[in-house]
């Protein structure tokens, strides 16, 4: 009998992967596709060679110009940073933020892997880490899906430290990589500084997963509101005009801070709403990324 990740991946391959195959290269902007340039050796200088690659120490020692020779690593390494914190459980059953995150992770792992790239995953939940080392196969995408299923109920109520999540990604990705952060970005910590450290070495793309519950306070009279991250509960009158104004102001301030921090770091942030068609949302992400790099 097929496992839940296998059934999900089969559905996504039919509905999403086939529509996106071949388009995902647009999600990274670097001029050279791959994780970097590797030094492979030295050779004597010839007319027409790029003088910027002369190794002056070796040239002085041998009294003959020598060049440092490099080869480009054409293999792209992708790290999926997956937020498994409690706030990601928000949303309607079967289509909450954690459901969309799982679908995105499987689609991205499958699409990048089909292109011969290596995809790894970091699953982060309030300081707890699970790591799936980079791989390329369909079986590897299913391994990421299995880890997501294992951590679906791992909730301890602490607020997500976004800075620690990004720092963990930086420690994990030792060579230059494309890092795709999938999160609602609800949490605390000096995440902007951590993000700026991350982009100094890596290409970073943020996919912000958003549910209506993040932005809209329902008009349902007196209700119990629970902070998904901390478990704190409050009884509020959702019809109170002042409360609704304050809620809207808090949402707008949060969004403004996030957008400004991402802009200062030079990181594109793409909103993925839980009620959107996943394939269409990713097509738009690729299109916006290409427009940004042109």
- Domain ranges in the chain are 4-19+74-211+267-292, 38-71
CB atoms within 10 A of CB 139: 9
Span 79-126, pLDDT tens digits: 999 999 888 888 888 889 999 999 999 999 998 888 788 999 999 987
User: Quick one: 4-19+74-211+267-292 is in which CATH superfamily?
Assistant: von Willebrand factor, type A domain (3.40.50.410)
SS3 185: coil
pLDDT-derived band at 128 (thresholds 50, 70, 90) equals confident
Does residue 241 come out as left (phi exceeding 0), alpha (psi in the -120 to 50 range) or beta?
Answer: alpha
Whether 263 and 195 have beta carbons less than 8 Å apart is answered as no
Percent of the chain predicted with pLDDT > 70: 79
Whole-number Å distance between alpha carbons of 270 and 281:
9
Distances in Å between the Cα of 30 and the Cα atoms of 36, 122, 195, 199 are: 10, 23, 18, 12
- Go through 261-284 and write b for each residue having 16 or more CB atoms within 10 A of its CB, e for each that does not: bbeebebbbbebbbeeebbebbee
* pTM score: 0.78
155 phi, psi to nearest 5 deg: -135, 125
Reference 184, options 93, 281, 97, 64; nearest CA is: 97
Span 139-175, pLDDT tens digits: 999 999 999 988 766 555 556 789 999 999 999 998 8
Span 189-221, pLDDT tens digits: 789 999 999 999 999 999 999 998 888 777 766
């Amino acid at each position: 009998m097929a496992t839940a990740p296998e059934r999900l991946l089969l559905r996504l391959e039919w509905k999403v992967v086939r529509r996106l195959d071949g388009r995902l290269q647009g999600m990274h902007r670097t001029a050279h596709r791959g994780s970097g340039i590797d030094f492979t050796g030295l050779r004597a200088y010839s007319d027409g060679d790029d003088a910027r690659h002369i190794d002056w120490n070796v040239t002085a020692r041998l009294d003959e110009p020598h060049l440092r020779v490099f080869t480009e690593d054409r293999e792209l390494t992708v790290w999926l940073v997956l937020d498994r914190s409690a706030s990601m459980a928000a949303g309607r059953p079967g289509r909450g933020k954690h459901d969309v995150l799982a679908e995105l992770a499987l689609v991205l792992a499958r699409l990048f892997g089909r292109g011969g790239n290596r995809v790894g995953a970091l699953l982060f939940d309030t300081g707890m880490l699970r790591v799936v080392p980079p791989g390329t196969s369909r079986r590897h995408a299913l391994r990421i899906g299995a880890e997501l299923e294992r951590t679906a109920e791992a909730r301890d109520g602490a607020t997500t430290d976004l800075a620690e999540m990004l720092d963990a990604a930086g420690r994990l990705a030792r060579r230059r990589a494309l890092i795709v952060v999938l999160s609602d970005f609800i949490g605390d910590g000096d995440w902007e500084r951590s993000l700026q450290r991350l982009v100094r070495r890596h290409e970073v793309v943020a996919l912000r997963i958003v549910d209506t519950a993040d932005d809209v306070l329902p008009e349902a009279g007196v209700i119990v509101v629970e902070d998904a991250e901390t478990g704190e509960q409050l009884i509020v009158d959702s019809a109170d005009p002042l409360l609704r104004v304050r809620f809207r102001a808090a949402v707008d301030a949060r969004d403004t801070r996030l957008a400004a921090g991402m802009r200062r770091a030079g990181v594109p942030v793409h909103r993925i709403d839980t009620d959107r068609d996943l394939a269409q949302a990713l097509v738009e992400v690729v299109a916006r990324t290409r427009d940004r790099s042109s």
